[in-house]
């Protein structure tokens, strides 16, 4: 089985919950699901942004509603699940734990504990809360409709880029969470997919807590190699639809994953040296 590429389009009509649906990959997931005939609950900590995504779907003839949700707060995620089931008049068939933030530019020991807590609260506890609340609901759902959970991680989950510790740890945790959940749900009919892209053309860099030098570098890489969020969302939904665990849309993510697994020590040292040389060139 090809665990990375995309396959057929989702043929069933998903009742989907998408976090971080106000912009970027989350909004792209919501729009694509609506295009495929699904009903979508668009949630975001920015209530106005979530509403805008839902209204755009409705204007295009789809079905959507919006709700404010801070995924770092278990009470919000529990309320999201209750509200979604009330709106669907039943359980969702797909949950996309997408909400996330960016942070980077400082080494361990200099990055503040406030930034650590902020990033882990959203990027790691968000998917944990989503899986904790929604997994029992999906387990208890009956019928022949496919069910799925998508957790949005990043190639940073295994990339180990210096200066990105909090972000790397949050995404590595999301990767491990997804692998563990997939093992626990094997044979249940619930497909678990973890999305690990490299650069996606979203506002995560400008909206996050990232130093100016790192922001400039990320902006350039995003322009050169970044995929559109729409393309990434389509590929990930296709992967989940056919039961794929890993979705790594870009070739550089797949290459990095392969090298890291084959020669982890050499890979990590090479990343460190390359980053150091690149940083020196940026300063000069």
Q: How far is CA 190 from the centre of its chain?
A: 18
Does residue 10 contact residue 236 with C-beta atoms inside 8 Å?
A: no
13 phi/psi in degrees, rounded to 5: -95, 105
Candidates 29, 158, 167, 246; catalytic one? 167
Report which DSSP code applies to 200.
Answer: B
Report which DSSP code applies to 244.
Answer: -
In angstroms, rounded to a whole number, what is the distance separating the alpha carbons of residues 53 and 45? 13
Is 267 assigned a catalytic role?
no
In angstroms, rounded to a whole number, what is the distance separating the alpha carbons of residues 193 and 247? 7
Does residue 97 contact residue 151 with C-beta atoms inside 8 Å?
A: yes
Distances (CA, A) of 205 to 100, 129, 213, 268: 11, 24, 11, 23
Element housing 247 (H / E): strand 246-247
**76: CB partners within 8 A, 6+ apart:** 68, 69, 70
Among residues 184, 201, 79, the alpha carbon closest in space to that of 129 is found at 79
DSSP strand E in 79-219: where? Answer: 94-97, 103-104, 147-152, 190-195, 209-210
Report which DSSP code applies to 241.
Answer: H
Could you give the residue numbers annotated as active site? 167
């Amino acid at each position: 089985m090809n665990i990375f590429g995309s396959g057929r389009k989702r043929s069933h009509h998903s009742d989907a919950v998408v976090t971080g649906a106000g912009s970027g990959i989350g909004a792209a997931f919501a729009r694509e699901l609506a295009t495929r005939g699904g009903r979508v609950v668009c949630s975001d900590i920015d209530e106005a942004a979530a509403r805008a995504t839902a209204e755009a779907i409705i204007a295009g003839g789809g079905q959507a509603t919006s709700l404010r949700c801070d995924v770092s707060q278990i009470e919000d995620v529990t309320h999201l699940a209750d509200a979604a089931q009330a709106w669907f008049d039943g359980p969702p068939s797909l949950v996309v734990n997408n909400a996330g933030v960016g942070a980077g530019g400082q080494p361990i020991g200099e990055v503040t504990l406030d930034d650590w807590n902020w990033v882990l609260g959203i990027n790691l506890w968000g998917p944990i809360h989503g899986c904790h609340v929604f997994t029992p609901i999906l387990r208890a759902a009956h019928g022949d409709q496919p069910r799925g959970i998508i957790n949005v991680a990043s190639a940073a989950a295994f990339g180990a880029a210096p200066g990105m510790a909090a972000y790397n740890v949050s995404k590595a945790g999301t990767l491990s969470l997804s692998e563990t959940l997939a093992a626990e749900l094997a044979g249940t009919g619930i497909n678990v997919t973890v999305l690990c892209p490299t650069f996606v053309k979203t506002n995560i860099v400008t909206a996050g807590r990232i130093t100016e030098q790192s922001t400039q570098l990320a902006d350039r890489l995003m322009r050169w190699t970044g995929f559109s969020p729409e393309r990434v969302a389509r590929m990930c939904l296709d992967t989940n639809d056919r039961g794929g665990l890993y979705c790594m849309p870009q070739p550089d993510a797949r290459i990095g994953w392969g090298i890291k697994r084959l020669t982890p020590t050499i890979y990590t040292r090479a990343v460190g040296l390359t980053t150091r040389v690149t940083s020196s060139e940026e300063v000069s």
